[in-house]
Amino acid sequence: MISKAQIRRIASLKQDKFRQSEKVFVVEGEKMLSELMHSTFDVQTICATKQWIELNTIPSAHSNVEILQVSPEDLQRMSSLSTPNNVLAVVSTPKPQAVRTQDTLVLALDGINNPGNLGTIIRQALWFGLTDIVCSSNTVSIYNPKSIQATMGALFWVNVIYCELPDFIRSLPPKYNIYGTIVDSDNNIYQQTLSNEGLIIIGSESHGISPQVRRAITTPLTIPNYSPDGRAESLNASIATAIVLSEFKRSVPDWH
């Protein structure tokens, strides 16, 4: 059974400062747990109702995980969801891996501050075959509970790192392709020659790509506005990402 101290500790992980200090995050829900248990992430503790424990088998790769039976009321206290599921897990934050930049496309996110958008973007990136995502230091945390839920498990299959984007760009090889979504550019994405190697930068809906990062872009890309008189102001960042990645995949089908 779970103790009151353990409940308080897990409940505290709703806050970023406690997740950072303990280097852990929380995954909730049966579908998310199913994805998690097939990944290589280090699962520390599973808190679950009696029903979930009786109906589920822990894979041998995670046989050393601590399993605590909890009541629905205890789960409610620990959960970030308005309607808690039957299970949650405390997971060690993985160490970032080196970003592979040769012969592949990398997604960079500059100042994305909506956790739902971030999670959806990561889900879309995996759908289109990207495995490395570079986030600016002012992008919302991927371990925010809303971000995690929005990934629908994609988080467990991509490498997400946080850094100062200008520094990362300076580390890239000379003449590396750096694409960026720019609203006021004349470079219609549907009329560009796209490559299977490069960095694709997506900015925030409210501020776009930051000036310092924008100066490094070698090929600006614009999704044309077909609304009457151009009245539609902007696209949701996650929708823009899906359109851009889809066009890359259509134009360069052999990327990997």
Does residue 130 share a domain with residue 11? Answer: no
Kindly state whether residue 256 falls inside one of the protein's structural domains.
Answer: no
pLDDT tier at 256, thresholds 50, 70, 90: low
Residue 234 has pLDDT above 80, yes or no: no
In terms of phi and psi (left: phi > 0; alpha: psi -120 to 50; beta: otherwise), the region of 64 is alpha
Residues 117-141: pLDDT tens digits?
Answer: 999 999 999 999 999 999 999 999 9
Kindly state whether residue 173 falls inside one of the protein's structural domains.
Answer: yes
Does residue 71 share a domain with residue 122? Answer: no
- Kindly report the CATH number assigned to the domain that includes residue 170: 3.40.1280.10
Residue 235 has pLDDT above 90, yes or no: no
% of the chain surpassing 70 pLDDT: 96
Beta bridge partners of 70: none
Does residue 180 share a domain with residue 59? Answer: no
Does residue 211 share a domain with residue 116? Answer: yes
- Kindly report the CATH number assigned to the domain that includes residue 66: 3.30.1330.30
Kindly state whether residue 22 falls inside one of the protein's structural domains.
Answer: yes
E strand spans, 79-237: 87-92, 105-110, 132-136, 159-163, 178-181, 198-203, 219-221
pTM for this predicted structure: 0.92
Residues 66-94: pLDDT tens digits?
Answer: 999 999 999 999 999 888 789 999 999 99
Beta bridge partners of 7: none
- 233 vs 167, residue with greater confidence: 167
Kindly state whether residue 180 falls inside one of the protein's structural domains.
Answer: yes
The pLDDT score that the predictor gives to residue 61 is 85
Instruction: Please give the torsion angle defined by the CA atoms of residues 143, 167, 105 and 103, in that order, rounded to the nearest 10 degrees.
Output: -130
Q: How many CA atoms lie within 13 A of 43 on its CB side?
A: 28
Q: CA-CA distance, 174 to 190, in Å (whole number)?
A: 26
In terms of residue numbers, what domain contains 29? 4-92
Residues 91-124: pLDDT tens digits?
Answer: 999 998 999 999 999 999 999 999 999 999 999 9
The pLDDT score that the predictor gives to residue 253 is 67
Q: CA-CA distance, 105 to 107, in Å (whole number)?
A: 7
161: nearest Cα among 189, 148, 142: 142
Q: Which residues contact 249 (CB under 8 A, 6 or more apart)?
A: 128, 129, 255
Helix 115-127 × helix 237-251 angle, to 10°? 10
Kindly state whether residue 98 falls inside one of the protein's structural domains.
Answer: no
171: nearest Cα among 199, 130, 196: 199
Does residue 150 share a domain with residue 70? Answer: no
Does residue 141 share a domain with residue 188? Answer: yes
Does residue 115 share a domain with residue 80? Answer: no
DSSP state of 108: E
- The answer to whether 223 and 243 have CB atoms below 8 angstroms apart is yes
The pLDDT score that the predictor gives to residue 185 is 80
Q: Specify the number of domains making up the chain.
A: 2
